């Protein structure tokens, strides 16, 4: 059973209360998804908190992290490249002799300068997969391919941690992300101001009737009251379910959609239920508040969509710049709430974009991408791992960044240094992944 704890916000008529109760019975009586048991002691040594931020739609890492000394960058991106840093407003922000940040990432510059933000420029799936939905799903379950009844890797992680009645994990924004799906208890709240609303439980008559219906000591009643209590305590409501997957897959194209309507439809589908980055700062604030108030909550999840920029991507200004600015403000807000020694924030996306711009001044589906890590234990202020440049002979299939590093190898470093995960625990969490010694410098040795 996918134990994502939430309640809907629709106000039912009194005659529907028994129907609602029946739905709860069906949900709670459904067969549980069986996950491999986590070796004990995942959190016995280190008490960090982990927050994962998923950018759905494949953001353009070559605009966020600018290789401004690579001559090929400007040759293959004549319209969308970010100008080399010269101190003016619409040029990149210099980080070192190789890298710069998009000017919209200015709110993150202090984190780089403080040495708490680092980046792996070329991370991704073990094998290219240019389907938004397949690639996102694989990254969320932590496996190289689909199999059986997989469980999200954050849910597997939660299963190996000491849990209170409230659980150890919380997700903000999406109603049913695969990364949180599984048998472990995960709390869910909607995005933005909707998180402050109480939905059907705000109606005293409805709430009283439901609580009376589940007043017993049986497991079903106890589970219902726990969910209702959580709802009232955090003032939650759920977002509507994502669009039908089959309809989305029809729009899951590798190249540039043929017209403006198709482009917009694909971008919306690629977001896969995630909200626009404009609301990320408020979601980050809500997440930090709830995890600060309940110290048992040690795993958090946020997402933002709108990154599928096939056309008119823009450079220092434009569509992508707006999203990057909202992302930067959201991450800065998130860092302000997760600044304790063991806290780590991971920012990831299903794949990158093509290295060269396309005919509509955008980018198509790529492979390797920049993966960001933020935290006091991060060996920040530098890029980590392998970088081979943008010469066509060094690109994946001559078109996009290679993924020199399996994203799971980056996660393994995070889990080792944040929660003290052992080798056997990492194999349970991320089956089939290998330890990558080229990434050993991501975290400070303390």
Q: What is the pLDDT of residue 218?
A: 66
Rounded to a whole number of angstroms, the distance between the first and last alpha carbons of the chain is 39
* Phi, psi angle pair for 334, to nearest 5°: -65, -45
Cα 372 to Cα 39: distance, rounded to the nearest angstrom: 28
pLDDT in tens, 86-118: 999 999 999 999 999 999 999 999 999 999 999
For residue 442, give both structure tokens.
């991501």
Query: What was the pLDDT predicted at 57?
Result: 96
Least confident range of 119-133, 239-253, 277-291, 412-426: 239-253
CATH of domain 37-196+259-439: 3.40.720
Minimum mean pLDDT range among 141-155, 239-253, 278-292, 432-446: 239-253
The arithmetic mean of pLDDT across residues 36-60, rounded, is: 75
How are beta strands 117-124 and 405-406 bridged, if at all?
A: parallel
Number of H helices, E strands in the chain: 14, 12
What is the DSSP secondary structure assignment for residue 434, as one 8-state letter?
A: -
Q: Which two tokens stand for residue 195?
A: 């998180």
Going from N- to C-terminal start, the domains of the chain cover 1-32+198-234, 37-196+259-439
Burial grade of 247 (CB within 10 A; 0-12, 13-18, 19 or more): exposed
Angle, nearest 10°, between helix axes 219-234 and 204-213? 160
Q: What is the pLDDT of residues 315-350, one digit of tens each?
A: 999 999 999 999 999 999 999 999 999 999 999 999
Interior CA angle at 199 toward 196 and 200, to 5°? 150
Contact between 127 and 367 under an 8 Å Cβ cutoff? The reply is no
Residues in a beta bridge with 51: 300, 345
Amino acid 244: pLDDT: 37
pLDDT tens digits for range 252-282? 667 766 666 665 566 566 777 777 788 899 9
Q: pLDDT category, 243, cuts 50, 70, 90? A: very low
pLDDT digits (tens, 9 = 90+) for 186-201: 999 986 665 455 444 4
The reported pLDDT for the residue numbered 407 is 98
- Of 158, 432, 133, 183, nearest to 300 by C-alpha is 158
Average pLDDT over residues 147-159: 91
């Amino acid at each position: 059973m996918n134990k994502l704890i939430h309640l809907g916000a629709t106000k039912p008529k009194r005659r529907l209360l028994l129907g609602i109760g029946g739905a709860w019975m069906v949900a709670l009586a459904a067969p549980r998804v069986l996950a491999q048991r986590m070796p004990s002691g995942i959190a016995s040594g280190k008490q960090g908190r982990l927050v994962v931020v998923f950018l759905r739609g494949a953001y353009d890492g070559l605009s966020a992290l600018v290789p401004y000394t690579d001559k090929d960058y400007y040759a293959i991106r004549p319209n969308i490249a970010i100008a080399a840093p010269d101190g003016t407003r619409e040029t990149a922000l210099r980080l070192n002799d190789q890298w710069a940040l998009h000017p919209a990432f200015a709110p993150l510059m202090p984190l780089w300068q403080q040495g708490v933000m680092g980046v792996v420029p070329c991370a991704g799936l073990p094998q290219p997969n240019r389907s938004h939905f397949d690639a996102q799903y694989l990254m969320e379950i932590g496996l190289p391919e689909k199999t059986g009844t997989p469980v999200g890797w954050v849910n597997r992680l939660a299963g190996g941690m000491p849990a209170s009645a409230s659980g150890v994990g919380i997700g903000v924004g999406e109603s049913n992300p695969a990364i949180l799906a599984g048998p472990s208890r995960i709390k869910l709240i909607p995005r933005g101001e909707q998180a402050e609303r109480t939905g059907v439980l705000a109606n005293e008559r409805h709430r009283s009737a439901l609580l009376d219906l589940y007043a017993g000591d049986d497991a079903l009643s106890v589970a219902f009251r726990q969910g209702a209590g959580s709802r009232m305590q955090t003032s939650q409501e759920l977002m509507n379910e994502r669009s039908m997957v089959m309809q989305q897959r029809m729009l899951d194209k590798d190249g540039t959609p043929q017209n403006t309507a198709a482009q917009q439809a694909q971008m919306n589908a690629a977001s896969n239920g995630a909200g626009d980055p404009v609301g990320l700062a408020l979601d980050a604030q809500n997440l930090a508040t709830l995890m600060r108030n309940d110290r048992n909550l040690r795993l958090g999840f946020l997402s933002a969509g709108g990154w599928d920029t096939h056309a008119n991507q823009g450079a220092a200004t434009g569509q992508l710049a707006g999203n990057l600015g909202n992302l930067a403000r959201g991450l800065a807000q998130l860092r302000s709430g997760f600044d304790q020694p063991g806290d780590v924030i991971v920012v990831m996306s299903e794949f990158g974009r093509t290295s060269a711009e396309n005919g509509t001044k955008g980018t198509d589906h790529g492979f390797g991408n920049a993966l960001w890590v933020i935290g006091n234990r991060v060996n920040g202020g530098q890029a980590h791992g392998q970088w081979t440049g943008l010469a066509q002979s060094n690109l994946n299939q001559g078109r996009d960044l290679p993924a020199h590093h399996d994203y799971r190898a980056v996660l393994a470093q995070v889990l080792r240094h944040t929660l003290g995960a052992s080798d056997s625990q990492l194999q349970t969490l991320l089956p089939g992944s290998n330890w990558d010694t080229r990434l050993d410098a991501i975290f400070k040795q303390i």
